[in-house]
Amino acid sequence: MQIASRTAAGGSTLLDGILAGAAAWIVPFYCTLCGERVGERESETAIPLCARCIQSLVPIGGSRCRKCGRELYSEQELCYACRNGERACEEVYPIFKYAEGPARLLRAYKSGKRDSLVPFWTGLFAGLIDARWPEHVIVPVPPRPEKLKRKEWDQIEAIAKALERRGYPVCRPLERKVDMQQKRLNREMRKENAEKAYTAIPAMAGKVGLSVLLIDDVYTTGATIEACAKALRESGVSSVAALVIAID
């Protein structure tokens, strides 16, 4: 089924407003995926994707693991990896698999610094937040300290700021102290690195709210999300979920 006809919980379509945003244009705009000219940009909410490529982006459908969000191929509520032990993050909800169109789009956004894609991701997040976590405070996963020091592009903070402008409650109670990139590490090293890396800012304790929704781009081993969730719970948060663009 195509993405435009998929619905999030509560009945709202996953891409409500996205196709409309792709039509409002003053400066030449080209599709990020296929290169086709899609019009002329005339607003900050215009999206650099043609209608055909938007329709080709297929979200994860069917049954999902209740904890990590991976597709299930059995009638169990949990995937094999999530059946043992408790997790600080109660639910992870990835929108896409990290493959094909979604993976190319994410690479263009992160590595290519295509900030023109912010309205697209924000629209997807907003629809799901309204349907699934309307009372949660949004917390972006913090970037590496070196990225902050160099004032580099922070792809998750860009989405958080866009959600904030729409009126969603956003809080930044976490900080990252270890600078090593997770993508260079194996599963065990990722877990160890993440546990050391993320902490709650002491001055923010008790100011976040009881229910938090973490947002991030790609979920791989889950080490980052779990470390952030643990830090939040230790600071007084009682419920943590996570919304991510894709799962690898």
Rg (the chain; Cα; Å): 18
For the stretch 82-96, pLDDT in tens is 888 789 999 999 999
* Residue 176 is assigned to a structural domain of this protein: yes
CB 245 within 8 A of CB 121: yes
* Residue 8 is assigned to a structural domain of this protein: no
Q: Cα separations (Å) of 157 from 13, 52, 115, 214, 228?
A: 25, 28, 11, 12, 15
Question: Over 90: is that where the pLDDT of 154 sits?
Answer: yes
For the stretch 118-144, pLDDT in tens is 999 999 999 999 999 999 999 999 998
* Residue 55 is assigned to a structural domain of this protein: no
Q: By CB neighbour count within 10 A (0-12 exposed, 13-18 middle, 19+ buried), where does 216 fall?
A: buried
For the stretch 182-219, pLDDT in tens is 566 666 676 677 778 899 999 888 888 899 999 999 99
CA–CA distance, 95 with 159 (Å, rounded to integer)? 15
Q: What is the predicted pLDDT for the residue at 127?
A: 97
What six digits make up the tokens of 245?
């663009």
Q: 5: which DSSP letter? A: G
- Find the CATH number of the domain harbouring 176: 3.40.50
Amino acid code (one letter) for 52: R
More confident residue, 30 or 229: 229
Among 78-87, 170-179, 222-231, top mean pLDDT goes to 222-231
Q: What is the average per-residue pLDDT within 5-22?
A: 51
* Residue 16 is assigned to a structural domain of this protein: no
As a whole number, the mean pLDDT across the chain is 85
Q: What is the predicted pLDDT for the residue at 193?
A: 73
* Residue 13 is assigned to a structural domain of this protein: no
Q: What is the predicted pLDDT for the residue at 1?
A: 38
Put residue 91 in one of left, alpha, beta given phi > 0 → left and psi -120 to 50 → alpha. Answer: beta
Q: What is the average per-residue pLDDT within 51-80?
A: 89
User: What pTM does this model have?
Assistant: 0.83
User: What residues make up the domain containing 209?
Assistant: 63-247
Q: In the chain, how many domains are there? A: 1
* Residue 174 is assigned to a structural domain of this protein: yes
* Residue 38 is assigned to a structural domain of this protein: no
CA–CA distance, 143 with 155 (Å, rounded to integer)? 9
DSSP for 106-156? Answer: HHHHHTS--GGGHHHHHHHHHHHHHHH-TTPEEEEPP--HHHHHTT---HH
* Residue 151 is assigned to a structural domain of this protein: yes
